[in-house]
């Protein structure tokens, strides 16, 4: 089944609602086929603006939420990006397209089966590397990063991730707040201190530990 028309329609909606702001992000959403990153039984829903189950208690986030996170972080060409909780790899594929051949994308995923499924799907992307593990601790070996996107809800601001940013780097992370999560944009300054901004309220699966 070819979903090109549905994909273009969703991207138009994301543009009109200002979830997508930049052309580089629009092009990534047009290039990556979301149906490749969800189980077959949900393919017909791939281009609804909704989260979908991807197995192992995980969900692929709502496209507008993903666009908001990418735009808040200001991910750009040539950057080095880490996604914590990379699931089946949809956001990794978008990030790969945005950072391009000069950039590099790392994913860390707690559930080894999901990490394996994503690696199989992402073979054609030469700038992506997926590691199994607890992303609460980041990915020290590859630090520092320009951007870290956390795709699961944190109980508090993850200091260890901020430590793995270069000066000027950004973390986007949903942090528990009442019954939902407030999406925070954390920007690291030259002196190592950081600023916090709240982007909005969202709902995410929790960040777990092994």
Site residues, ligand SAH (CB under 6 A): 37, 54, 56, 58-61, 84-91, 108-111, 114, 134-136, 151-152, 205, 207-209
Torsion, Cα 95 148 137 62, to 10 degrees, reads: -60
Q: Distances in Å between the alpha carbon of 18 and those of 5, 175, 194?
A: 20, 23, 27
53 versus 189: smaller Cβ distance to ligand SAH: 53
CB of 191 to ligand SAH, least distance (A): 29
141 versus 191: smaller Cβ distance to ligand SAH: 141
60 versus 105: smaller Cβ distance to ligand SAH: 60
CB of 105 to ligand SAH, least distance (A): 12
Tell me the three state secondary structure of residue 78.
coil
CB of 143 to ligand SAH, least distance (A): 16
| CA atoms of 73 and 75, how far apart (whole Å) | 5
Q: How many CA atoms lie within 13 A of 143 on its CB side?
A: 17
Which among 171, 168, 186 is positioned nearest to 136, based on CA atoms? 171
Of 61, 64, 96, 118, the catalytic one is 61
* Residue 64 annotated to the active site: no
CB of 7 to ligand SAH, least distance (A): 16
What angle is formed at CA 138 by the lines to CA 126 and CA 98, rounded to 5 degrees? 35
Nearest residue relative to ligand SAH (C-beta): 85
Q: Point out the residues that are catalytic.
A: 61
């Amino acid at each position: 089944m070819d979903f090109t028309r549905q994909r273009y329609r969703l991207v138009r909606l994301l543009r009109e609602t200002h979830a997508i702001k930049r052309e580089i992000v629009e092009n990534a959403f047009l290039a990556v086929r979301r149906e490749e990153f969800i189980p077959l039984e949900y393919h017909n829903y791939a281009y609804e603006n909704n989260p979908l189950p991807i197995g192992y208690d995980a969900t692929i986030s709502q496209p507008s939420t993903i666009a908001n996170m990418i735009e808040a972080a200001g991910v750009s060409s040539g950057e080095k990006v880490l996604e914590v909780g990379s699931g089946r790899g949809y956001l990794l594929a978008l990030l790969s397209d945005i950072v391009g051949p000069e950039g590099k994308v790392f994913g860390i995923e707690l559930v080894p089966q999901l990490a394996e499924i994503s690696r199989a799907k992402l073979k054609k992307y030469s700038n992506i590397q997926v590691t199994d593990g607890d992303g609460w601790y980041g990915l020290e070996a590859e630090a520092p990063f320009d951007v870290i996107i956390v795709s699961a809800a944190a109980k508090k601001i993850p200091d260890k991730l901020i430590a793995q940013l270069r000066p000027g780097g950004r973390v986007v992370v949903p942090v528990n707040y009442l019954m939902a999560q407030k999406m925070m944009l954390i920007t690291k300054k030259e002196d190592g201190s950081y600023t916090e901004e709240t982007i909005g309220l969202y709902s995410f699966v929790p960040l777990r530990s092994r």
